[in-house]
Structure 1
Amino acid sequence: MKKQVSTIVSIILIIVIAVFALMNFESVEVNFGFASFQVPLVLLILICLLIGALIIFLFSSTQNVKKNRQYKQLESEKQQQQAALNAQIDELNNNLKVLETRLKNSTGKQEIGSRDQQITDLQDEIAKLTEKLSSQK
């Protein structure tokens, strides 16, 4: 929508300048300080318009170049930060795997320890029952 509005405004300005230039056909003297020329006013207006358009184009193109450089710099910084974050994520995943392995191992040791305790308790109970049996005889 913005482009359409700018195109319409540009066309209107071109028409206004063309009508203004066509209304001024007489020759005028242009003095550059070191030389003077007789030039039709219509040609002078169009030359000045083209010079102004060229200046605007040069300024806008330098700004576009600066913006493109900034964009590329920001893009490279973003990629570096992404790489650093991916490295951190990988490191955290590796740490998670190590901790999960440790947890599994510690859980297994706890189960073995509790079973050993149960076996010891059962052996003690068997010993007590054996003593009871031998004392009853």
Structure 2
Amino acid sequence: MKIQWSLIAALLFALITAVFAVINVNPVSVNLLFGTVNVPLILLIIGCSLIGGLIVGTFGIYRQYQMQKEIRSLAEELIHIRQATGYTPEVQAAEEEKKKEQQDMPVEP
């Protein structure tokens, strides 16, 4: 559901940006370090929006890579700890079964 709301918000933002860009079609002068350039404002708005989207997307991909790397590291650490202690899923199931049997047994006075 979160992805759907994110998609709706992104489409709404794109629509607002497109309408804003179409309204502002007058040429503007952009001062660069080496000179000035006359550019239609619509291209400037769309270009800056695209550059901002690329920066945010790149940051998101980088964060996702970091999280996957951390998950892999933690999974390996968990396997190492289970091997060192001898604690396996079979042992866990046996312990849970033993606890369940103890809880089900009636207490004699």
Class of the TM-score when normalised by the shorter of the 2 chains: 0.7 to 0.9
Residue 48 (str. 1) matches residue 48 (str. 2): yes
Find the aligned partners of 1:18 and 1:79 in 2 and give their Cα distance: 51
- The normalised TM-score by structure 1 is 0.61
Superposed counterparts of 1:1-12, under 5 Å: 1-12=1-12
Q: Identical aligned pairs, as a percentage?
A: 33
2:25 aligns to what? Answer: 25
Letter in 2 for 1:15: L
Which structure has more relative contact order (CA 8 Å, sep 6+)? It is 2
Superposed counterparts of 1:1-137, under 5 Å: 1-86=1-86
Find the aligned partners of 1:2 and 1:62 in 2 and give their Cα distance: 21
**Cα distance change on mapping 1:85 and 1:11 into 2, 3 Å:** same
Letter in 1 for 2:35: A
1:103 aligns to what? Answer: none
- The normalised TM-score by structure 2 is 0.75
What is the RMSD of the two structures over their aligned residues, measured on CA atoms?
2.0
> More helix per residue: 1 or 2?
1
Q: Report the alpha carbon displacement of residue 86 of structure 1 after superposing the two structures with TM.
A: 2.5
Aligned length: 90
Please tell me whether Structure 1 or Structure 2 has the larger radius of gyration of its CA atoms.
1
Letter in 2 for 1:63: R
Find the aligned partners of 1:87 and 1:23 in 2 and give their Cα distance: 66
**Structure 2 residues without counterparts, runs of 5 or longer:** 92-109
Runs of 4 or more off by more than 6 Å in structure 1?
87-90
1:5-30 deviations in Å (ceiling 9; x for gaps): 11111111111000000001111111
Letter in 2 for 1:2: K
